Amino acid sequence: MKVIADICVVPFTGKVSVRQEVAVAHQILAETGCPVMLHGFGTNIEGDFDLVMAALKRVHETLHQRGAARVHTTIRLGSRTDKAQGIQDKIDAVEGEATS
């Protein structure tokens, strides 16, 4: 089953900045080969449900191995059966409405 997920990973490292850890998480998601789009408060990924969940598991495992005592992830997940729609399709549809 194909899904589009909006993921926000918050590693608790004791540091104010977590950009290095977020970059690691983003790289792991990108390594899936799925379309991935970083944004200001997280990452969008589109792909097979099991592949996306396996990548998230790897993100958690890797961040714990790198010293994060806790990793909190928020996921918003959507799937459709009526038509094929990717991340960019959703963006284009909204931007098309905004300009009409």
The ranges assigned to domains in the chain are 2-99
Is residue 37 a contact partner of residue 18, using CB atoms and an 8 Å limit?
A: no
Question: What are the strands, taking DSSP E only, across 49-94?
Answer: 70-78
- pLDDT reported for residue 71: 97
Share of residues in the chain with pLDDT > 70 (%): 100
- pLDDT reported for residue 100: 76
User: Model pTM?
Assistant: 0.89
> pLDDT by residue (tens digit) across 15-43?
889 999 999 999 999 999 999 999 999 99
Higher pLDDT: 88 or 60? It is 60
Strands 2-12 and 70-78: antiparallel
- pLDDT reported for residue 52: 98
Average pLDDT over residues 46-58: 98
Nearest to 80 by CA among 38, 49, 35: 49
Instruction: Return the amino acid letter for 77.
Output: L
> Which CATH topology does 2-99 take?
Alpha-Beta Plaits (3.30.70)
